[in-house]
Amino acid sequence: MMFVVFLLATVILATLTLLLLWRYEAWWVRSMDFPRLQLFVSSLLLFLVESVLLDLSHPSTWCLLVVALLCLVYQAWWILTPNRNAKALIELVFEAGHDVQQNGLEADVDDLAWGKAKADDQNVNKSDVPQPGS
C-alpha cells in the first residue's frame, strides 16, 4: 500500500514537471512555471522519504527514486540558473545607464533612479548597490 502511495505521488510530480516542457500556451499549462520552488521542495521531500521508507532491494523502488531525483534536478536547474546570472545582469544595467534589453528585461535611466531611491528609502547599504559608471 505504501508503494502505491509513493507511486501515485511520483507520477503526479513527474506529470507536473513534464507539463512544463510542453510549450502549449494555455494558462493552465503556463501557470505551472510559477510554483517551481514548491515543486523542488516536494520532489526533495519525496526523494528523501522514498529513500528512507521504501525497500531499496526492489528495482521498482529505484525507478521511483530516479524519477523523483530527475524532477528534483530539473526544478533546481530552473531555480538556480537565473539566480546565478542575476548579479551580472544588474551590473550590466547599471553600467549602461541607458536603455538596455537583455533576456527580455528592459531598464532605462528612470528605472535605475527609482531603484536607487527605493534603496535609499529602505536604508540599504550603499556599498552593496552598484553605481553607474563604476
Three-state SS sequence of the chain: CHHHHHHHHHHHHHHHHHHCCCCCCCHHHHHHHCCHHHHHHHHHHHHHHHHHHCCCCCHHHHHHHHHHHHHHHHHHHHHHHHHHHHHHHHHHHHHHCCCEEECCEEECHHHHHHHHHHHHHCCCCHHHCCCCCC
The whole-number pLDDT of residue 114 equals 56
The whole-number pLDDT of residue 92 equals 64
Higher pLDDT among residues 4 and 78, named by residue = 4
Mean pLDDT of 11-25: 87
pLDDT tens for residues 26-62?
A: 888 778 778 888 999 999 999 999 999 999 999 999 9
pLDDT of 99 above 80: no
Q: Out of 34-48, 63-77, 105-119, pick the least confident.
A: 105-119
Between CA 134 and CA 85 the distance in angstroms is 19
The whole-number pLDDT of residue 113 equals 59
Distance of CA 42 to the CA centre of its chain: 13
pLDDT of 89 above 70: no
Distances (CA, A) of 113 to 6, 82, 91, 121: 51, 24, 14, 12
The whole-number pLDDT of residue 73 equals 93
pLDDT of 110 above 60: no
Hey, where are the domains in the chain? Answer: 2-84, 86-128
Mean pLDDT of 5-20: 92
Higher pLDDT among residues 12 and 109, named by residue = 12
